[in-house]
Structure 1
Amino acid sequence: MLQRCPAVNPTFLFRSCPLPLGATRRPHRGGVRIAIVAESFLPLMNGVTHSILRVLEHLQERGDGVMVIAPSTQDTEVLDVVHGAFVHRLPSVPLAGYSNVRVALGGVNRVKRILADYAPDVVHLASPFVLGWRAVQAAHQLGIPTVAIYQTEVPSYAARYGVPFMENWAWNRVENIHLLASRTLVPSTFALNQLRGRGVLRVDMWRRGVDTARFAPEKRDDGWRASVAPGGERIIGYVGRLAVEKQVEDLAVLADVPGTRLVIVGDGPQREALQEALPNAVFAGFLGGEQLASAVASFDLFVHPGEFETFCQTIQEAMASGVPVVATGRGGPLDLVENSRTGWLYRPGDLAGMRAHVMDLMGDDAKRRAFAAAAHASVQGRTWPALSAELVRHYRAVIAGEPVVEPVGRMPVVEPVRRVPAVGPAETKRGATL
């Protein structure tokens, strides 16, 4: 259920609605009282928001008490209650170059007051970095256990955004957050080893669910296919944010694959530049709900070139839709794609390898159908109710003070692709304030 609060100051972008009675009511007997601190949230849709929404649905069904703390939005009709959870909006400013992404303002004490007033049993930190750093400190000072969800490899974005000197600083921030959190949950084996290699040992796995009723082969739409590929071409598809870290420009090597049409679903700050770089591609814009499900199921092949995915939900949705995948062999795709069965993985940066794998599947209908069937079968059972129930078990574990089983010894550090030595601003383990 969504409720809206119209009373918003458009200049400072803070919410002015009174706290609803439901936000202070205790959960049912045996339930959990949770504060979810979201680095980003509605109306912005991304992997972080998607995961939170699915979790909120499950927590509402359970009858748990939930509040979301998130940056304010430019939307003058601010979402006030989402799936039974009150949304407390903090003042925010736009991220440079990404006007629809808001960065929350305010210090640790402000977050501390909100948490003290709400008195949760546990604080869920969704992809913490700026607001999440303040929240983990506030919760620590209040003695409230925290579960941090690591799902965005922010430090590795630095070189892509032209600020390689910020990479070490960003990794230091990530380490500070997860060393202070009671428990960190990661979505992939790569991310698990990455954090453990950096000395963060209270780490466990929490993968992502997929809606196999929405994303399914039967959603294939021949009419939509004809609209984007009127010549009957086979469709090579991509779904995701059009931003520099996604490396969508790498798809240019597929522009002249015979008998195919490249279709890009999504929007973002790089759209105009990508349209110039890929003049023959179809840019379908942002799609959601059933429109997205139909588009994905209508692809013949899904390609994801991004090298910095801790999981990659769009790959899982493509597989649920019966679409084989070609993706880079780094990060989350290593767990999702089984080479030579559900798709192909290529070495990061090897665009000739990407093209060869695409040619292999687009040129062999029988092989592509076999890969498609295997991809669809591989994600069955990965439901959001099951994954959300697993998350609640992690909540209860940190509330009870149960330890994470730590590895013996220290795991090797996993170096980011094209890592650039950094000499930027320092942040000590105990002295950071930003």
Structure 2
Amino acid sequence: MPLMNGVTHSILRVLDHLQERGDEVLVIAPSAHDGEAAAQVKGAEVHRLPAVPLAGYTNVRVALGGVYRVKRILAEYAPDVVHLASPFVLGWRAAQAADQLGIPTVAVYQTEVPSYAARYGVPFLENWAWTRVENIHLLATRTLVPSTFALNQLRGRGIPRVRMWRRGVDTARFSPEKRDAGWRATVAPNGERIIGYVGRLAVEKQVEDLAALTGIPNTKLVVVGDGPQHAILRDALPGALFTGFLGGDDLARAMASFDLFVHPGEFETFCQTIQEAMASGVPVVATGRGGPLDLVENSRTGWLYEPGDLSAMRSRVQDLVGDDAKRRAFAAAAHASVQGRTWPALCADLVQHYQDAVAAVPAVACPTSRKGAQL
């Protein structure tokens, strides 16, 4: 089972689409933490590289080896295009290997890794990390970004050939119809308004900022997710209910049963959970930086607040939990705003980006074979 996050989720949906099209796909990925891994995922062959766990994340693996190993794999498979999913370590090797082989690459900027440096107490690594990001995307035939913020961020750093590719949302799975009165009664037996967060419990998500919501009358904070900050956050948010990781129908039920969704992270290039909350008919309060700028419309589908202004976050939450009519109006607008953002439509756009990248490197292109590699 791969580590489930926004990047993994989008990769799986892309693999579904490519399988339906009849494309041949090779996935190159780090070895699994338990030593066991499927030979295929969503119809795609999987090639595992030796890997070690990232400190603090036993499920996050960093592949070992150099460019030559990846180059050998790509040369043998001979794909028409290489998809670099949130590249940084393995993706950097793949970008170099594909460039040396003359194979077009589509690199997807999904994670603002350099900005994590200060949050993790190593701000001196930020410039190095940006250099790595720039080198990867300078080599790429095409770079895809999920938000206007990310587009401007990379173009401001001189990255060429950048295009927008947003994320789809499953509006059948995430729906107001999944709201569950029984679940709500269990979580908030006194009829409290339920404030929810869904995501990894990691430093870069700034979940501890939710402590600013402590003491708002008639509310219950519910934190859905797991990660290395779990124990620390339990201490920081003693009144919150921690559900642990939820997936499938359990996640859809919890999301739709919230009254309000709050996401305090400042380093989201997109933020898929915001889109899932909106599809569930739940208004959002989020930071006014990164992906949320495109997703949340102030005073219509939710509220944005200035990064770091936790008093503003608290007042925006109070505004919505204290006004049932306004909250319902925001919820209806949020739900309507994401209709039509289907994964099939977004994946069809991605295939067009593949085709454009192949056309840009005609000497190696073999568009009729429909083979690709994902890293």
Secondary structure of the structure 1 residue equivalent to 2:226: coil
User: Which residues in structure 2 correspond to 1:227-238 (within 5 Å)?
Assistant: 227-238=186-197
Q: How far does the alpha carbon of each residue in 1:226-268 deviate from its partner, in whole angstroms, 9 at most, with x for none?
A: 1211221110000000000000000001121110000000000
Alignment partner, residue 368 of structure 2: none
CA distance in 1, matches of 2:298, 2:81: 39
**TM-score scaled by length of structure 2:** 0.95
Q: Does 2:73 match 1:114?
A: yes
Q: Which has the higher contact order (CA 8 A, sep 6+)?
A: 2
Does the CA contact (< 8 Å) of 2:33 and 2:58 recur in 1? no
Q: Does 2:306 match 1:359?
A: no
Q: How far does the alpha carbon of each residue in 1:345-396 deviate from its partner, in whole angstroms, 9 at most, with x for none?
A: 0000000000000000011000000000000000000000000000000000
Q: Which moved more, 1:68-77 or 1:245-254?
A: 68-77
CA distance in 2, matches of 1:197, 1:352: 31
Structure 2: gaps (5+ residues): 363-375
Q: Does 2:13 match 1:60?
A: no
Deviation, 1:77, is: 3.2
Out of 120, 127, 140, the position equivalent to 1:161 is: 120
CA distance in 2, matches of 1:74, 1:337: 36
Residue type matched to 1:320 in 2? A
Secondary structure of the structure 2 residue equivalent to 1:170: helix
Give percent identity, aligned residues only. 82
CA distance in 1, matches of 2:6, 2:129: 20
Out of 205, 212, 218, the position equivalent to 1:259 is: 218
**TM-score scaled by length of structure 1:** 0.83
Deviation, 1:402, is: 8.0
CA distance in 2, matches of 1:315, 1:269: 22
Structure 1: gaps (5+ residues): 1-41, 404-434
Out of 91, 108, 118, the position equivalent to 2:50 is: 91
Alignment partner, residue 240 of structure 1: 199
Alignment partner, residue 300 of structure 1: 259
Q: Does 2:302 match 1:348?
A: no
Q: How far does the alpha carbon of each residue in 1:377-425 deviate from its partner, in whole angstroms, 9 at most, with x for none?
A: 000000000000000000000101189xxxxxxxxxxxxxxxxxxxxxx
Does the CA contact (< 8 Å) of 1:307 and 1:348 recur in 2? yes
Alignment partner, residue 220 of structure 1: 179
Q: How far does the alpha carbon of each residue in 1:210-232 deviate from its partner, in whole angstroms, 9 at most, with x for none?
A: 00000000000111111211221
Out of 30, 41, 55, the position equivalent to 1:82 is: 41
Q: How far does the alpha carbon of each residue in 1:126-177 deviate from its partner, in whole angstroms, 9 at most, with x for none?
A: 0000000000000000000000000000000000000000000000000000
Q: Does 2:232 match 1:279?
A: no
Q: How far does the alpha carbon of each residue in 1:175-210 deviate from its partner, in whole angstroms, 9 at most, with x for none?
A: 000001000000000000000000002100000000
Change (3 A) 1:383 1:402: farther
Does the CA contact (< 8 Å) of 1:71 and 1:89 recur in 2? yes
Does the CA contact (< 8 Å) of 1:255 and 1:281 recur in 2? no
**Greater helix share, structure number:** 2
Residue type matched to 1:301 in 2? L
CA distance in 2, matches of 1:294, 1:133: 38
CA distance in 1, matches of 2:342, 2:289: 24
Secondary structure of the structure 1 residue equivalent to 2:158: coil
Alignment partner, residue 418 of structure 1: none
User: Which residues in structure 2 correspond to 1:159-238 (within 5 Å)?
Assistant: 159-238=118-197
Q: Does 2:250 match 1:318?
A: no
Deviation, 1:76, is: 4.0
Change (3 A) 1:147 1:281: same
CA distance in 2, matches of 1:119, 1:230: 59
CA distance in 2, matches of 1:294, 1:84: 29
Report the count of equivalent residues: 362
Out of 54, 69, 73, the position equivalent to 2:32 is: 73
Alignment partner, residue 124 of structure 1: 83
CA distance in 2, matches of 1:230, 1:68: 46
